[in-house]
Amino acid sequence: MRVDFDGVTVTLGGRDVVRDATLAVEPGSVVGLVGPNGSGKSSLLRTLYRVLTPRLGTVRIDGLDVRRLTGRQAARAVAVMLQDPPTDFDLSVQETVLLGRAPHHASFGRDTPADLRIVDDAMRRAEITDLADRMVATLSGGQRQRVMLARALAQESPVLVLDEPSNHLDISHQHELMSTVRSLGRTVIAALHDLNLAAQYCDRVVVLAAGRVVADGPPTRVLTRELITATFEVEVRVLGDPDQPVFAFRRLAADGTSTRTESHARS
Ligand SMILES: Nc1ncnc2c1ncn2[C@@H]1O[C@H](COP(=O)(O)OP(=O)(O)OP(=O)(O)O)[C@@H](O)[C@H]1O
Give the span between the Cα atoms of 206 and 36, in whole angstroms.
12
Q: How far is the CA of 102 from the centre of ligand 1 (A)?
A: 30
**Backbone φ and ψ of 200, nearest 5°:** -80, -35
Q: Which of 9, 15, 16, 43 should be mutated for ligand 1, with most atoms under 8 A from CB? A: 43
Entry pTM? 0.91
Encode pLDDT of 204-214 as tens digits. Answer: 999 999 999 99
- Tell which of 203, 218, 233 closes a domain: 218
Q: Give the pairing of strands 30-34 and 204-209.
A: parallel
- Check if the beta carbon of residue 100 is closer than 8 Å to that of residue 149: no
- The alpha carbon of 50 and the centre of ligand 1 are apart by a number of angstroms equal to 16
Residue 27 confidence (pLDDT): 97
Q: Which of 189, 216, 193, 191 is nearest to 205 (CA)?
A: 216
In which domain, by residue range, is 105 found?
3-218
For residues 75 and 195, state if they share a domain. yes
- Provide mean pLDDT across the span 123-128: 94
Together in a domain, 138 and 256: no
**265 has pLDDT over 50:** no
Please check whether residues 99 and 209 belong to one and the same domain. Answer: yes
Residue 84 Cα to ligand 1 middle (Å): 15
Is the confidence at residue 107, as pLDDT, over 80?
Answer: no
Residues 17 and 147 in one domain: yes
Average pLDDT, the chain: 90
The atom of ligand 1 lying closest to the CA of 13 is 4
Same structural domain, 229 and 211: no
User: In what order do the strands lie in the sheet containing 56-61?
Assistant: 15-25, 3-12, 56-61, 64-65
263 pLDDT tier (thresholds 50, 70, 90): very low
Q: Which residue has the higher pLDDT, 115 or 265?
A: 115
- Which is the closest atom of ligand 1 to the Cα of 191? 22
Treating both helix axes as pointing N-terminal to C-terminal, what angle do 171-183 and 141-155 enclose, rounded to 10 degrees? Answer: 0
Number of domains in the chain: 2
Same domain, 10 and 80: yes
Nearest CA to ligand 1 atom 25: 37
Find the Cα–Cα–Cα–Cα dihedral 57, 72, 146, 191, rounded to 10°. Answer: 0
**Looking at ligand 1, which atom is closest to the CA of residue 45?**
18
Same domain assignment for residues 161 and 249: no
Residue 57 and residue 15 share a domain: yes
Question: What pLDDT, on the 0 to 100 scale, is given for residue 267?
Answer: 39
Nearest protein CA to atom 24 of ligand 1, as residue: 37
Q: What is the CATH number of the domain that holds 78?
A: 3.40.50.300
pLDDT digits (tens, 9 = 90+) for 149-193: 999 999 999 999 999 988 888 899 899 999 999 999 999 999 999
Q: How far apart are CA 13 and CA 136, in angstroms?
A: 34
User: In terms of domains, do 56 and 188 share one?
Assistant: yes
108 pLDDT band, cuts 50/70/90, is low
Residues 214 and 228 both lie in one domain: no
Q: Phi, psi at residue 150, to the nearest 5°?
A: -60, -40
- 148, 208: one domain: yes
Distance CA 221, CA 204 (A): 9
Share of the chain above pLDDT 90, in %: 74
Q: Provide mean pLDDT across the span 56-79.
A: 95
Instruction: Kindly state whether residues 137 and 243 are assigned to the same domain.
Output: no
Ligand 1 is surrounded, with C-beta below 6 A, by 12-13, 17, 35, 37-43, 191
